[in-house]
Amino acid sequence: MFPKKTSAPARGATDSMAASSFSVFGADTAIRGDIHATADLHIDGRVEGDITCAGLVQGESSEIAGAIVADTARLAGHVRGTVNAGHLVILKTARIDGDVLYESLTIEQGARVTGRFAQRGHDVTLVEGEARLALAN
């Protein structure tokens, strides 16, 4: 009737489960201030401030006014600010008003970006966690 009790997960398994945690900010959430997280974030609401995290997933109705720094990012809403991400996916519903710094980049047809693109390591200066692109016009 009841399943057999199994042993606790191995130490490495629990460490990886903790590392893969994430936080969700729902559509009814509005945040004013910077967000720093070691975990992944899923944002459907509105954020006025800079975001630094391991991974970011932005919902279609989400608005972010501030710089984004993440290892991975999947953007579907409106961003007003610099985006600095290792692996970046810009979905067709995304609107980005700001410069984009990336290692690998995927852009769906229909996405709108007003700004400059630069691959990490090419004429880029980091100022207080924000990427500033030094590109010739």
> CA geometry: angle at 62 spanning 25 and 75, to 5°?
100
Residue 22 is predicted with a pLDDT of 84
Residue 129 is predicted with a pLDDT of 44
| pLDDT tens-digit readout, 93-125 | 999 999 999 999 999 999 999 999 999 876 554
Residue 7 is predicted with a pLDDT of 42
Low-confidence ranges of the chain (pLDDT < 50): 1-18, 125-137
SS3 sequence, 93-122? CCEEECCEEEEEEEECCCCEEECCEEECCC
Residue 89 in contact with residue 74, Cβ under 8 Å? yes
Domain ranges of the chain: 21-133
